Amino acid sequence: MKVVVTSTGECLDSPIDPRFGRAASFVLVDTVSGAITTVVDNRDGVEAAQGAGVQAAEAVSRLGAECLVTGHCGPKAFRTLQAAGIAVYTGASGTVADALAQLAAGTLERAGAPDVAGHWA
């Protein structure tokens, strides 16, 4: 399965970024091999005046991901991810590798709704 994890860096040891739309980068991981396929620099999202979540959801969709693991997800981002058919898991912590382990262990809850308001951070 192709999973995107939001991160402040670009490797499995990098800390996750709890923000989605304004995360520093999106790390695409193939859970079969456990290896990183692609890292997308989200500078545009970090610097966006508005609509960072929408743009980020678009980027995740473009990567072909089936699943997103992050800290929090706001309303417009969530709507966009849902429309793109991407499963959203919030509440991840630690490193990218930790977040993937949490996903595999089933300790992350699949979000049925946004868990923060827009512009929360």
Partner 1 sequence: MIVAIASGKGGTGKTTFAVNLARSLEQPPQLLDCDVEAPNAHLYLRPRILGAEAAGILVPRVDAVRCTLCGDCAELCRYHALAVLRTGVMVFPELCHGCGGCALVCPEGAITEELRPIGVVEWGVAGDIELVTGRLDIGEAQAPPLIRAVKAKARGDRLVVVDAPPGTSCPTIAAIQGSDFVLLVTEPTPFGLNDLALAVETVRALGLPFAVAVNRAGSGDDRVHEFCAAQGIEILAELPDDRRIAEVSARGRILVDELDHVRPVFGALARRLVELGDRRPPTLAAAGGSRAEGRR
- 8's tokens: 């402040």
| Residue 55 dihedral angles phi and psi, to the nearest 5° | -65, -40
Q: Which is nearer to partner 1, 37 or 61 (CB)?
A: 61
- 51's tokens: 């609509």
Residue 8: CA count within 13 A, CB half-sphere: 10
- Per-residue contact string for residues 43-82; x = within reach of partner 1 by CB under 8 A: -----xxxxx-xx-xx--x--x-----------x--xx--
Q: Is 42 in the site for partner 1 (CB under 8 A)?
A: no
The least CB distance from residue 49 to partner 1, in Å, is: 7
Distance CA 85, CA 66 (A): 7
Q: Contact positions toward partner 1, by CB under 8 A?
A: 48-52, 54-55, 57-58, 61, 64, 76, 79-80, 83-85
